[in-house]
Structure 1
Amino acid sequence: MERGVVMKSDIINSVDRALEILLTIYENNREMGISELSEQLGIYKSTVFRTLKTMEERGFVRQNPTTKNYWFGTRIYAIGLSIREKMHLQDVIAPYTRRLYEQCHEIVNVSILENSIGDFHQSIIIHKEFGDKNLLFVNQPLGSSTPCYCSSVGKCLLAYTKGLDFSIYKTKPMERFNERTINSYESLMESLEDVKRKGYALDDEEREIGLTCIGAPIIGRDGSAVAAISVSGPTSRMNDGHIDEKIEMVVKTAWEISKEFR
């Protein structure tokens, strides 16, 4: 057999079905249910169900708790971002984050949402800007994650991402990092409503005493958050009488980046 020629016997049917489902959802450009996928692909509903559940466990699809239909999961988005990064995604974001850093001289992070089944949502840092004076301060590396309920970017992602399931916060105790950390479902929902009203979120030492963060959502064309941006620094510097100006800078930058995703 020649190199590069794929024989029918080399095809793994279960993998082929999973890819067909992903491609069908992509081509329809909307959430799809088990019955509809079964009809379009000519596959038994039970097979579609098992395939979707397998992909959901790995984060490739997620089920809308309201409609029960399926859409792409955060793993697909993360892979897409990785590919786009190789295609100069950094060139799109970097001018905005660099300008924001030069305006406030504090650490700038851009994060995305990771929705792990059976666990709390996490925010993952995909891009950052910082300078020499930030090296001795808390400076999480690229790829690091933080529970969303106790970070400014995390609360923005929770507040502005459509179709999230918050039931985990009712059934599983949230770790309390200090007395300022949100640790109840009711407090979290109240905080997220506040974020929606204001258009930004604050982490006022909720994760780390002495650290204050301002976050704002980056909104895609469907009105849902694709990422969030934050400025982080020592509380003594962040609350220096100019915090309202910093909030305005972060919100403006998030809005400008949002336009790139539409």
Structure 2
Amino acid sequence: MTEKATGTESRREASRAEGGVQSIMRALTILDRLAECDDGLTLTELAKSVALPPSSAHRILTTLQRQRFVRFEPATMSWLVGVQAFVVGNAFVRSRDMVPLAVPHMRRLMTKTGETVNFFMLDGEEVMCMAQIQSQQMVRAISRPGGGVEMHRSAAGKAILAHMEEEDIVGIVERNGLPRYTEHTIVTTDALRLELANIRQRGFAVDNEEFSLGLRCIAAPIFDEAGTVHAAISLAGPASRITENRIDALGEMVALCGKIVTSEIGGRARR
């Protein structure tokens, strides 16, 4: 084989490899878009949202469908996330020992309080709901597992922020700001620092209608073996039931649940 032929073949190999990476990135982008839409997307909607020709999007979708990562709903002509995506995602949850260890204690907390209990984990500069035990009440608070929330306006986020290093807190605030969502949202650094100090003192955080009017949440940190906080247990319900008079009592129950889960995973609170 001549040197020229060898060079041509190498370029072809590189081109095929680049094309393969591009196809994988497109497939992952499509999965991300479908994960954001509970009701799915039509081919036209999906192709437009990922900036692909419908023919290219359809080719990727049919490949993903064969592997059960997506499914097609004929009644609505929509594409949705498939069961294999859940299987892969659930493997991540299983790899985090905290989630399965926390669930029985979350269930007991829900039974005692009658309110929805969530397990949140730090995800970049947001907190993400990883597991949920729903209240049996007709009116209840529901956070979709997998959804991210800004830290300054959630009880779970503030419970984690309270135990982060000062420079990390400053960095998060500088990059993301403190946008207002309700009249109760914390929007100044001074107010946030005071709030975090109060959280450290009493052992739990409160979202007092800061995320959404009519909703209150109470959260407690979960420490790992190094005394670092990456997760929190959160209790959520309507403000009409989680009244200000009940916050301290419920907060003690949530804090105790956080301590139990911390112990279960071999964690320890910083002194």
What is the match of residue 41 of structure 2? none
Deviation at 1:245, TM superposition (A): 1.9
Where does the alignment leave 5 or more consecutive residues of structure 1 unmatched? 1-78, 116-120
Length-normalised TM-score, structure 2? 0.60
Deviation at 1:236, TM superposition (A): 1.1
Where does the alignment leave 5 or more consecutive residues of structure 2 unmatched? 1-87, 267-271
Do the aligned partners of 1:169 and 1:184 also contact (CA within 8 Å) in 2?
no
How do 1:175-194 residues align onto structure 2 when only pairs under 5 Å count?
175-194=179-198
Change over 3 Å in CA distance of 1:242–1:188 after alignment to 2 = closer
Deviation at 1:191, TM superposition (A): 1.2
What is the match of residue 96 of structure 1? 105
What is the match of residue 240 of structure 2? 236
Cα distance in structure 2, aligned partners of 1:87 and 1:169: 28
Do the aligned partners of 1:153 and 1:217 also contact (CA within 8 Å) in 2?
yes
CA-based RMSD: 2.6
What is the match of residue 115 of structure 2? 106
Do the aligned partners of 2:116 and 2:237 also contact (CA within 8 Å) in 1?
yes
Deviation at 1:240, TM superposition (A): 6.9
Do the aligned partners of 1:152 and 1:215 also contact (CA within 8 Å) in 2?
yes
Change over 3 Å in CA distance of 1:108–1:208 after alignment to 2 = same
The total of aligned residue pairs comes to 179
Deviation at 1:137, TM superposition (A): 3.8
Deviations 1:175-221 (A, max 9, x none): 20111101122221221111111111111001111111111000111
Q: Does 1:148 align with 2:151?
A: yes
Change over 3 Å in CA distance of 1:182–1:82 after alignment to 2 = farther
Q: More displaced, 159-168 or 205-214?
A: 159-168
How do 1:1-262 residues align onto structure 2 when only pairs under 5 Å count?
82-83=91-92, 85=94, 90-115=99-124, 121-133=125-137, 136-162=139-165, 164-170=168-174, 173-239=177-243, 241-262=245-266
Q: More displaced, 83-92 or 124-133?
A: 83-92
Length-normalised TM-score, structure 1? 0.62
Change over 3 Å in CA distance of 1:190–1:140 after alignment to 2 = same
Change over 3 Å in CA distance of 1:216–1:88 after alignment to 2 = closer
Cα distance in structure 2, aligned partners of 1:80 and 1:194: 36
Instruction: Please say which structure displays the higher CA radius of gyration.
Output: 2
Do the aligned partners of 2:101 and 2:265 also contact (CA within 8 Å) in 1?
no
Identity of matched residues, %: 28
Do the aligned partners of 2:222 and 2:262 also contact (CA within 8 Å) in 1?
yes
User: 1:242 is paired with a residue of what secondary structure?
Assistant: helix
What is the match of residue 52 of structure 1? none
Deviation at 1:248, TM superposition (A): 1.2
Do the aligned partners of 1:170 and 1:184 also contact (CA within 8 Å) in 2?
no
Change over 3 Å in CA distance of 1:101–1:211 after alignment to 2 = same
